[in-house]
Structure 1
């Protein structure tokens, strides 16, 4: 098995661009922590069904996402980690990640967290410039961002930070300064995303009313190229479209998702995947709490068709350095899918957006040469659009 994701549905304030599920009211936080622990317990038997073929149902990663998990107290975080250990078999050295915002990471808090089971911090910096942070309605300021990194690096070896590019009005030079500032803290992992405009966000309303300019795709593409070139020159491996890590510092939690491993999602709006089906919890705190109070799991389940699984593999595979294995396509999905894929990729190969390379695979002690479909440097920024053009939409009913 891969891991457990725990969604903490609370934030101090709403970032203008965010469309994740959260509440800015902390009134039900205590009740929610107990409910999360109950769901962890109620779903403990699910781990016995995962990866049974490998006789391996241990938890390799525990990931606190949100929302803003750092709004929980250190004792509450450890309480939930302990609940996982009580109900599941956990590997000897699991990766345990906490997403945190700079305003929650005082020196005292960082020291507290370093004494818990948390061994990886993912810090939501987004930008080191005050005007960007205010535009996005972030709860922290530039000084807090820099201070928390200065202290965190003294107590944690494994740290990731988030940066956002394509912000309206951000010049290439300003974006380069953001990257250079991050590199100055000797952080081993950086996640970076283009600013996107989701329909039901405050950012969308601000753009519609003319208060903020609409993000420009050409600017975002230029920022992406600067990001890739700068980080690769500094020893980072671009292992996933939005993620860069030094060797041995890739996110194990996220890599498992991209590689199609199985996971359990705990909390409101959290998703789970068992290789055959996907389930998701209700995105409503009150309904979630009521259901758990009645010992019910408030989720919906979708059985994935072969085409669903094929399309998902195309999407996740192309985003990573591991690419899409043509051998796996034929073995898991059949020759008709492989023929379709080979036909669809030709125009992208001709335009130097995709390429087929050979790769040595020594997994499980076997040595073989595989053909792998990957994006080129030219095609990397366009990965999601290319993947959608490769989807098979009508092979199955």
Structure 2
């Protein structure tokens, strides 16, 4: 089974981010105590008591102190058996990895770091209001390796407007020179409730350039696959044997528990969503109340979620599994939609599997939505 822990604190607000977080760190210790209490309250949620992966995301989990991390992991080990080969990931910002002592401390609790580099370009980092600089971005990988982290992932953002094309090419070349085993790359999106969203509404920022993002996605795919990385999910590339096991569990619809404000959980038949408010979350947990909304999944929900996540991966969607979920012949029910997609060249039928073609990866959500059932 799989555990996600949401740490909703950041030093400062990146201009593009609409995840739930706070830059007021005054209640961080209280929040960690509440998360520990939720882990205890939710101990029966997962069908198995053995954790194959643990993922600390946010927010910025690398802001946690040793005492706070120790409290979290003491609670986790008190409620679950953690598999000996469990993947334990912590998201970190490069500026939090400057101190070797901090990295040594993190290594005692986690065996995988996901480093939010985003770009190696100084001007772009300032424009996005990132807390680190270009030198820290580059050095963070080397420092992590020196501390004993072999399993590393970095994040990059593409489709950033108003900069020379060579900047993205340099980002890719720099990333490849670091020889990390895993990369997650995301197109810049302009979300309404962010600084960039407000800039767009005021005319200060142009709308996202879809053609730029598509071109840079193709450059990304060519560069990474040419360097021996497997493009195993639309936004994720890995050297053989270095898939993100935790995120793969999401895409393959395995049960997971999410704790912390705004965290989601899935048990196979329902989803639950924690309140995205730190004060409300703490208050409810102190009352022994789970601050979650539960959504029972219909047959259509389960089919559509499988299409939405499965088509993003190299494994695609199994027609046999779609038939089993639907309780009917999926290809017959959606024959008109499948025929339409055949004409686009975006979808490939390979025996029992539906997979996106390279061209279809640019339209993954559109392909999935075309096949949704009611």
Query: What range is the shorter-chain TM-score in?
Result: over 0.9
TM-score (normalizing by structure 2): 0.97
Shift of 1:184: 1.0
Q: How does 1:348-363 map to 2 (within 5 A)?
A: 348-358=341-351
Shift of 1:336: 4.8
Listed one character per residue, the Cα deviations across residues 117-167 of structure 1 (whole Å, up to 9, x for unaligned) are: 200000000000011111111111111111111211222100000000000
Shift of 1:181: 0.4
Which segments of 5 or more consecutive residues in structure 2 lack a partner in the other structure?
A: none
Instruction: Verify the 8 A CA contact 2:69 2:109 in the aligned structure 1.
Output: no
Shift of 1:294: 1.1
CA distance in 2, matches of 1:201, 1:159: 29
Tell me which of 77, 80, 83 is aligned to 1:88.
Answer: 80
CA distance in 2, matches of 1:296, 1:246: 43
Q: How does 1:196-275 map to 2 (within 5 A)?
A: 196-275=189-268
CA distance in 1, matches of 2:105, 2:329: 55
Instruction: Verify the 8 A CA contact 1:172 1:222 in the aligned structure 2.
Output: no
CA distance in 2, matches of 1:103, 1:387: 38
**Which residue number corresponds to residue 141 of structure 2?**
149
CA distance in 2, matches of 1:274, 1:147: 40
**Which residue number corresponds to residue 94 of structure 2?**
102
Tell me which of 27, 38, 53 is aligned to 1:61.
Answer: 53
TM-score (normalizing by structure 1): 0.91
**Which residue number corresponds to residue 24 of structure 2?**
25
Shift of 1:183: 1.2
CA distance in 2, matches of 1:171, 1:238: 26
CA distance in 2, matches of 1:72, 1:117: 12
Shift of 1:168: 0.5
Q: How does 1:173-184 map to 2 (within 5 A)?
A: 173-184=166-177
Which is worse superposed, 102-111 or 153-162? 102-111
**Which residue number corresponds to residue 186 of structure 1?**
179
Number of residue pairs aligned between Structure 1 and Structure 2: 372
CA distance in 1, matches of 2:167, 2:243: 27
**Which residue number corresponds to residue 42 of structure 2?**
43
Which segments of 5 or more consecutive residues in structure 1 lack a partner in the other structure?
A: 51-55, 359-370
Instruction: Verify the 8 A CA contact 1:268 1:285 in the aligned structure 2.
Output: yes
Q: 1:74 to 1:342 in 2, by over 3 A?
A: farther
**Which residue number corresponds to residue 362 of structure 1?**
none
**Which residue number corresponds to residue 382 of structure 1?**
363
Instruction: Verify the 8 A CA contact 2:261 2:281 in the aligned structure 1.
Output: yes
CA distance in 2, matches of 1:171, 1:343: 43
CA distance in 2, matches of 1:120, 1:4: 15
Listed one character per residue, the Cα deviations across residues 75-133 of structure 1 (whole Å, up to 9, x for unaligned) are: 3123212211111122221110000001111132222212x120000000000001111
CA distance in 2, matches of 1:326, 1:170: 43
CA distance in 1, matches of 2:172, 2:348: 29
Listed one character per residue, the Cα deviations across residues 300-332 of structure 1 (whole Å, up to 9, x for unaligned) are: 101000000000000001000010111111122
Instruction: Verify the 8 A CA contact 1:16 1:201 in the aligned structure 2.
Output: yes
Q: How does 1:124-163 map to 2 (within 5 A)?
A: 124-154=116-146, 155-163=148-156
